[in-house]
Amino acid sequence: MMSSTEASQSSSDADNSRPTSYTGLIFPKCTSQWDRRFVDKLGVLQKEEDIVRIISSEWRLGFLSEKEQLEIEKCLDACDLQLNYDSLENVPLRRLYESGWVPSSDQVQQIRNSPLLKKFLIKLDEFNFYLAQIIREITCKPKTAISDGKYETLFEKLLQIFGFCTLSHSFISTDKALIQGRSVSSRADVICSQERPSSEKAVVCVCTVKKSIQLDDADSSPPEKKLRSSYTPDANSSTPGDQDLLARHVGELLVYLDKSVRPEGMLGFTVEKTWVRVTYLDVKESSQRKLQDLPINGPGSVQYEEGERPRFFYSKRYNYLNRDDRRTLFKAFLLVRRMQERHEG
């Protein structure tokens, strides 16, 4: 059986060998309306990659010494909390504080001794407060669906545990970029930024949350005609809904690219309930000009010189309620934060 990575590469190779006509394909004014066709039109190579390699080898905002990497491994032991479930609906309220996100006394001591985890304990209490509110609500009203906004807020609180400085959707203005000769707007769900921005290039990563109802980034029209089909996330599945989420995410990364702390690239996360992916869009400066200026009605995809083609890397999904997944995801968070600290000096 072909692996997901091989399938992704095979799909890309097939796209290269089989010409596709994009005549008349007009880019929507908002990235929230993108699908796979628009990413293919831009000639973006998509590849599934190991989560740690995306951060350490592709994004690589800073080099980490062996000592720093060992420090991160020690932090992971301190952060190894016992909560282990598949979904929020399966978390019993009575167990939340008995064997949940509560570190042992030894772990508390380790956390207090680690500069990387200086905000961990106080932000963990805040995360637990929001988590308990959600569990209490669905326990009292079993038929109540957890809203997209609650999943978005919970993920933002999770990032803050590791010291990320976040901006939520209500604090983010709609941004615009020129793509294929057309002004395209986007408004991220969550942005991680430098704590003390010294320039406009202060965005560390952009987070896209899967929504049951997808609204235009700059549109307040009724959402009834914009319903998206819902599905239960799975770490290794690939569905049309999944591809649409990744396409919208690529669009967001492109719009915010000129504000990235990393030249020629933007780091990101996609969030589907409690499942999280790490992503990275790599676009060389010469490629950025081609993405912006070429006419929008050309018959084929954007053509690049050798080595110029934009690359979009994405990891498999990790469920932060699952103990094993959480360790991998927390390692990714810590790598990003340590590199960010080195970059900011």
In the block, tokens 């740690």 appear at: 52
State residue 279's pLDDT score. Answer: 99
Angle, helices 66-78/105-112, rounded to nearest 10 degrees: 150
State residue 195's pLDDT score. Answer: 87
pLDDT tens string for the chain (345 positions)? 444 444 444 444 444 444 555 666 788 999 999 999 999 999 999 999 999 999 999 999 999 999 999 999 999 999 999 889 999 999 887 766 655 678 999 999 999 999 999 999 999 999 999 999 999 999 888 888 999 999 999 999 999 999 999 999 999 999 999 998 889 999 999 999 998 887 889 999 999 999 886 555 544 343 333 333 344 555 555 555 689 999 999 999 999 999 999 999 999 999 999 999 999 999 999 999 889 876 655 667 888 989 999 999 999 999 999 999 999 999 999 999 999 999 987
Nearest CA-CA partner of 324 in 316, 312, 314: 316
Domains of the chain, residue spans = 4-13+21-218+227-344
Distance, C-alpha 338 to centroid of its chain: 18
**Cα-based torsion angle of the residue sequence 59, 61, 63, 66 in order, rounded to the nearest 10 degrees:** -70
State residue 219's pLDDT score. Answer: 47
Q: How far apart, in Å, are the Cα atoms of 68 and each of 114, 198, 259? A: 12, 26, 27
User: For the segment 64-120, what is each residue's pLDDT rounded down to a tens digit?
Assistant: 999 999 999 999 999 999 889 999 999 887 766 655 678 999 999 999 999 999 999
